[in-house]
Chain A
Amino acid sequence: MKKKPLDRLNKLIIFGLLTVFAVVSLLPLYWVFSTSLQLSSYQSQDMERPVSYVDSNPPKMYPMGIPLYLKHWGEAREAAKAGDAEEEAYHRDMMDHIVSNSFGSFKTLFKKHDVGKWFFNSIYIAVVVTIGILLIDSMAGYVLAKKNFPGRNLIFWIIISTMMIPGQVTLVPLFIMVGNLGLMDTHWALILPDLSMVFGVFLMRQFMYSIPDELLEAAKMDGASEWRTYWTVVLPLARPGLAALGIFTFMNVWNSFLWPIIVLNTAELYTLPVGLKTLQDANLASFKLLMSGAAVAAIPMIIVFILFQRYFVKGLTLGGVKE
């Protein structure tokens, strides 16, 4: 049965209200991108000094490069029509300047700072951890759900009971442990503790229950080894669960901050969030540069979100996940 449809006016009001809230919620992200592309130096013929639109009062709500580029483009065309080559060249120059200035901070980030390296570090650590977690946790989840062996419940409850303990509790011992293992200021210091997160075991175990026992029996009948059964029967069937777990793992690792700032000291090894913090702390960077760095860090997650949206929803409703 369908619920009674609201009348049109009500629907419009709700839509309008939600749009206002959505704009408020997306404004900070918009502001990151807008500031990162804002024109930081512009001087037309009638101006005495170059102006920066990054810190102008009132603030410019969109990158000023866009209207100014269009203006010069139009004037260049008019000059060309009138046959004024000098004037046209001037406007063409201005257009080039606007483009290079607008995107300039991105170039600076990659050239003068280590952002390229940080980006690479973040990507590869997130990928390594995600693949590792998917493999390790699906193996554990599979046997915890489908095998009947002594100690099964004990192991499961010990693992799960630590989920209630906030990560900060183990910060100091983990720090000492990582130091004792000689991993301080290496990427292993991030990867190994991340691979030990227990949430995936819980999620995978829940998911593995839904795999019919008959399929596993059938594989056994065919003489498949345990590993083969897991690899060719279990994993393909668990794909939706793996997708959800993979995305949340990637997101958690990509955004993780507290632990990395504790164990990483070498600029070359930084992940993006850590690098951004040092960039901000250095106090030399303009807001345009900082926002460009923020944009570089935000874009991959936005892409992942757009591509895998439905798995986000699935992952959240399958078992709560919080960053």
Chain B
Amino acid sequence: MTQIPMGAVPKKKKEKLKVVGKSNRSPKKVLHEMKRNYSAYLFLLPKLILFTLFVAIPVVWAFVLSFQKYKIFGSEFVGFENYIKVFESEAFRIALKNTLLFTVVTVPFGVISALVLSALIFELGKLSQSLFRSAFYLPTVTSMVIIAMVWRWMYNYDFGLFNYVLGWFGVGPVNWLGQSSTALWALIIMQCLIPFGVGIIMYLASMGSISQSLYEAARMDGASRFKQWIHITIPLLKPTTLYLVLLSTIGSFQVFTQIIMMTGGGPGSATETLVHLIYKTGFRDFEFGLAGAQSVVLFVIILIFSVIQFRVLRHDE
């Protein structure tokens, strides 16, 4: 559900924003300006009220809560107790490890496969381009609840599609989701096989905007098609790649629906992830303060990852 701005979009922002700014700073003038523009505030009012109630206050509250022991009448501040609990708990460590493994495998796989697929699609004619684009994007518009349900069915031990297919090769049957050794990998494989539709659409759009004269020049120099791809296409797609890596990392750290629909974090805690743990802590055990601290830690982890990725991928520009 998270949405973040795309790297390519805010082009205009800087110049436009400068228009407003400095000049009329005296309180009287400001007040006059505010009166003159009262209708603008009225236009903003509905969003501002909703935003304050359901976004701004909860965000601030989340941080406050993480330092409290929540009680319906009068919560008390407990300092860093919740955070200490978070870092000392085995459950959190396991959830973090699982989430990291999930992210480290699925994000590169998703982005690279989107890059390769869109490169292949781009070689085709208009009609087949839009055909394949749709085929790869369609699973993305389907709810993860549905996808999780059908994969649970395909992973079924007795009658599932996968064990049947494995049977052709004389392997299995595998108890995919039922044993600790395979459950997390079953979820990872599933994530890898769901096409990264957003990535494909955005790569195709970016590839369409690369000037053909660059390729023309490369061809004059006798560069092969593959070399052109490596040396022209991929570097020029870097902003898109950065955006997609950030986007899918953030999404991947929040993996939840598959977990609750397919394994419930089990067997044992083999597929426990951070958000599922937060869900359990907050809404099964009703430990609001602890859940608050866990979600703040999740936020910080995501932030750190985003900054690192931004640095690394931006590096040589």
Q: B-contacting residues of A (Cβ < 8 Å)?
A: 1-4, 6, 10-11, 14-15, 17-18, 21-22, 24-26, 28-29, 31-32, 35, 54-59, 136-137, 139-140, 142-144, 147-153, 155, 158-160, 162-177, 192-193, 195-199, 201-202, 206, 209, 226-227, 230, 251-252, 254-258, 261-262, 272-273, 276-277, 280, 287, 290-291, 294, 297-298, 301-302, 304-305, 309, 312-313, 316-323
Contacts and interface: CB of A to CB of B under 8 A. Distances in A.
Contacts of B100: none
A258 B257 contact: yes
B89 interface: no
Most chain B Cβ neighbours within 10 Å, of A32, A56, A167, A322: A322
A131 B33 CA distance: 32
A288 B306 CA distance: 42
Given A1-B216, A320-B198, A32 B46 contact: no
B102 interface: no
A291 B33 CA distance: 59
Contact of A22 (B17, B132, B164, B205): B132
A319 B5 contact: yes
B19 A321 contact: no
Nearest to A201: B47
Interface in B231-258: 243, 247, 250-251, 253-254, 256-257
Given A139-B44, A173-B62, A291-B150, A319 B205 contact: no
Nearest to A148: B20
Most chain A Cβ neighbours within 10 Å, of B30, B58, B164, B167: B58
24 contacts: A6-B123, A15-B124, A28-B147, A31-B154, A54-B159, A59-B164, A139-B43, A139-B46, A164-B303, A166-B250, A175-B282, A192-B50, A192-B53, A226-B43, A276-B145, A280-B261, A287-B153, A294-B145, A302-B142, A313-B133, A319-B3, A319-B9, A320-B247, A322-B1
A317 B144 CA distance: 22
Interface string B258-297: 0011000000000000010011001100001001100110
B112 to A, nearest CB: 13
Given A55-B158, A287-B153, A149 B145 contact: no
B46 A255 contact: no
Interface of B is mostly: helix
B138 A162 contact: no
A134 to B, nearest CB: 12
A322 B247 contact: yes
Given A163-B4, A172-B282, A255-B145, A322 B198 contact: yes
Given A1-B212, A152-B20, A317-B205, 20 more contacts: A15-B124, A25-B194, A54-B159, A140-B46, A149-B37, A155-B44, A163-B4, A164-B303, A166-B2, A166-B253, A168-B278, A172-B295, A173-B292, A175-B282, A255-B142, A262-B283, A305-B138, A316-B198, A317-B202, A321-B3
B151 to A, nearest CB: 6
B83 interface: no
Contact of A168 (B54, B134, B295): B295
Contact of A1 (B43, B59, B213): B213
A193 B52 CA distance: 11
A257 B278 CA distance: 15
Interface string B13-29: 00011011100000000
Contact of B120 (A17, A143, A297, A301): A17
B309 interface: no
A230 B43 contact: yes
Contacts of B159: 54-57, 59, 287
A57 B172 CA distance: 14
Nearest to B135: A22
A196 B51 contact: yes
A25 B191 CA distance: 11
Interface residues of B, number: 111
A276 B121 CA distance: 35
A309 B55 contact: no
A150 B30 contact: yes
Interface string B117-150: 1001101100010101111111111111111011
B198 to A, nearest CB: 6
Contacts of B143: 254-255, 257, 272-273, 297-298, 301
Given A298-B143, A317-B205, A322-B247, A175 B283 contact: yes
Contact of B33 (A6, A24, A149, A287): A149
B37 A147 contact: yes
B77 interface: no
A255 B283 CA distance: 21
B295 A257 contact: no
A193 B59 CA distance: 13
B68 to A, nearest CB: 11
B21 A153 contact: yes
Contacts of B150: 28-29, 31-32, 35, 291, 294
Contact of A199 (B3, B123, B288, B292): B3
Contacts of B298: 166, 168-169
B210 to A, nearest CB: 10
B153 A290 contact: yes
B134 A277 contact: no
